[in-house]
């Protein structure tokens, strides 16, 4: 039970969810996605073995709650978590929460929803929620949880790096201010801005060295974005993981990032970190990485890191946990 889904909706949370669900489908499980936003899809479709059903009305989940079509488990995230949790409790179907952030709402529904399984997208997030639980709910055990980094297959995002300095999702929170400030400071360099799948986009047309392209489906990112990118910018104020940073590293694209806990975990030692409030530091980092020697060194480090993040082992953990939930109501 999700609000929107690829390829129409291409935010990191949705692609992370799809990466998990398509793995279940690939291993022989039947996976149906029920959308809750009326505009998310007009017709039913299948993506990588996952059947996606458009929103028709509040009664959409009914066929999966009872009878021959009764679901063995409900997977949910973000805004669908409250409703999915209630339906799971009413129909005695175990519910699995996918957590993409450390916001209070997400933590609260771990208590209210009592999921059979919580799936954290990073180790730092799991540690954060554990610390929160000890303070607020120390009198009861936490839901069973696993850490599964958003799966990114190197082969899906490989491309020969291009010549632009790129920002994906032109919101204030993602760092549009830094992006445009750098373009103003370096008028001879090419900048590429990609309209995001959510948030208030800041689109400027007054800088001749900046090209803005539309929101891009995930399966087109390698060809339409990363093949044009030399350096990726990630000046996000909050990033629980930073999927686009990992996608870029698959092509050997160096990433300059604000040191959020998520980006520190995803990029590791391969990233270049600068405070988003110090534009001068970002300019210096871009200039340094533009030298052939430094770029080559950073590019190799990025590719090594992308290989280190091979999702195979964590996907096996995900499958084992989900099969346990479906068969016994518990991941073990």
- In this prediction, residue 91 has a pLDDT band, given cuts at 50, 70 and 90, of very high
pLDDT tens track for 11-66: 889 999 999 999 999 999 999 999 999 999 999 999 999 999 999 999 999 999 99
- Residue 7 inside a domain? The answer is no
Sign of CA dihedral 183, 186, 191, 197: negative
- Please indicate, yes or no, if residue 1 is contained in any of the structural domains: no
> In this predicted model, what pLDDT tens digit does every residue of 243-264 receive, in sequence order?
999 999 999 999 999 999 999 9
What is the structure's pLDDT at 138?
Answer: 75
Q: Are 40 and 54 contacting, i.e. CB atoms less than 8 angstroms apart?
A: yes
Backbone angles phi and psi of 53, in degrees to 5: -115, 125
Strands 117-120 and 145-147: parallel
DSSP 79: G
Q: Are residues 113 and 247 in the same domain?
A: no
49 and 110 assigned to the same domain: yes
Mean pLDDT, to the nearest integer, of 217-240? 95
- Whether 3 is covered by a domain: the verdict is no
Element (H or E) spanning 83, and its range? helix 81-91
Question: Residue 195 falls within a domain, yes or no?
Answer: yes
Identify any residues that bridge with 256 across adjacent strands, giving them in sequence order: 233, 272
- Asked whether residue 224 is domain-assigned, the answer is yes
| Contact yes or no for 33/117 (Cβ under 8 A) | no
Note the residue count of the chain: 332
Sheet harboring 45-47: ordered strands across?
32-34, 50-53, 45-47
The answer to whether residues 113 and 165 belong to one domain is no
**Does residue 6 lie within any of the structural domains?**
no
Q: Is the pLDDT of residue 196 over 80?
A: yes
Whole-angstrom Cα distance, residue 213 to residue 228? 11
- What does the alpha-carbon distance between residue 21 and residue 29 come to, in Å, rounded to a whole number? 9
Same domain, 185 and 239: yes
Q: Where are the beta strands (DSSP E) in 176-329?
A: 191-194, 210-213, 229-234, 255-257, 272-273
pLDDT digits (tens, 9 = 90+) for 95-106: 999 999 999 999
Phi then psi for 2, rounded to 5 degrees? -135, 160
Q: Are residues 145 and 244 in the same domain?
A: no
Residue 318: predicted pLDDT? 98
Residue 4 lies in a domain: no
Q: What CATH number did the domain enclosing 267 receive?
A: 3.40.50.2000
Residue 139: pLDDT band with limits 50, 70, 90? confident
Model confidence pLDDT, tens digit, residues 261-278: 999 999 999 999 999 999
Average pLDDT over residues 116-126: 97
Confidence of residue 218 (pLDDT cuts 50, 70, 90): confident
Share of the chain above pLDDT 70, in %: 100
pLDDT at 332 over 80: no
Token output for 315: 């996907």
| 81 and 194 belong to one structural domain | no
Checking if the pLDDT of 209 tops 90, the result is yes
**Mean pLDDT on 229-248:** 97
Closest to 103 in 3D by CA, of 13, 2, 33: 13
Model pLDDT, residue 213: 97
Question: 192 and 299, same structural domain?
Answer: yes
Q: Do 271 and 317 lie in a common domain? A: no
Q: Which pLDDT value is given to residue 99?
A: 97
Number of domains in the chain: 2
DSSP 130: H
Share of the chain above pLDDT 90, in %: 92
Q: What is the pLDDT of residues 170-179, one digit of tens each?
A: 999 999 999 9
- Is residue 103, in this structure, part of any structural domain at all? yes
Do 16 and 132 lie in one domain? The reply is yes
Cα–Cα dist 93/106, whole Å: 20
Enclosing domain of residue 205: 154-308
Same domain? 324 vs 231: no
Mean pLDDT of the chain: 96
Do 321 and 281 sit in the same domain of this protein? no
Residues linked to residue 229 through DSSP beta bridges, in sequence order: 164
Q: How confident is the model at residue 219 (pLDDT cuts 50, 70, 90)?
A: confident
């Amino acid at each position: 039970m999700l609000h929107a889904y690829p390829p129409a909706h291409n935010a990191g949370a949705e692609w992370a969810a799809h990466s998990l669900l398509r793995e279940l489908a690939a291993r022989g499980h039947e996976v149906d996605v029920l959308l809750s936003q009326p505009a998310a899809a007009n017709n039913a479709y299948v993506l990588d073995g996952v059947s996606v059903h458009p929103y028709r009305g509040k009664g959409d989940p009914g066929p999966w709650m009872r009878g021959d079509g009764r679901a063995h488990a409900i997977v949910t995230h973000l805004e669908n978590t409250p409703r999915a949790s209630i339906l799971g409790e009413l129909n005695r179907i175990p519910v699995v929460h996918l957590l993409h952030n450390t916001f209070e709402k997400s933590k609260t529904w771990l208590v209210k929803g009592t999921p059979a399984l919580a799936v954290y997208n990073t180790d730092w997030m799991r540690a954060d929620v554990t610390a929160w639980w000890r303070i607020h709910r120390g009198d009861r055990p936490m839901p069973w949880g696993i850490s599964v980094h958003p799966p990114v297959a190197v082969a899906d995002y490989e491309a020969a790096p291009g010549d632009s300095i790129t920002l994906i999702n032109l919101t204030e929170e993602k760092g549009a201010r830094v992006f445009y400030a750098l373009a103003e400071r370096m008028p001879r360099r090419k900048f590429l801005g990609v309209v995001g799948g959510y948030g208030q986009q800041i689109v400027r047309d007054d800088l001749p060295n900046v090209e803005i392209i539309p929101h891009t489906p995930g399966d087109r990112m390698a060809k339409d974005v990363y093949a044009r990118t030399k350096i990726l910018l990630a000046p996000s104020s909050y990033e629980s993981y930073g999927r686009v940073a990992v996608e870029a590293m698959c092509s050997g694209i160096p990433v300059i990032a604000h040191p959020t806990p998520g980006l520190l975990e995803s990029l590791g030692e391969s990233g270049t970190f600068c405070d988003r409030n110090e534009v001068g530091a970002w300019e210096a980092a871009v200039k340094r990485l533009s030298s052939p020697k430094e770029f080559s060194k950073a590019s190799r480090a990025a590719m090594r890191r992308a290989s280190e993040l091979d999702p195979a082992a964590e996907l096996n953990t995900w499958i084992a946990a989900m099969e346990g939930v479906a068969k016994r109501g518990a991941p073990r």
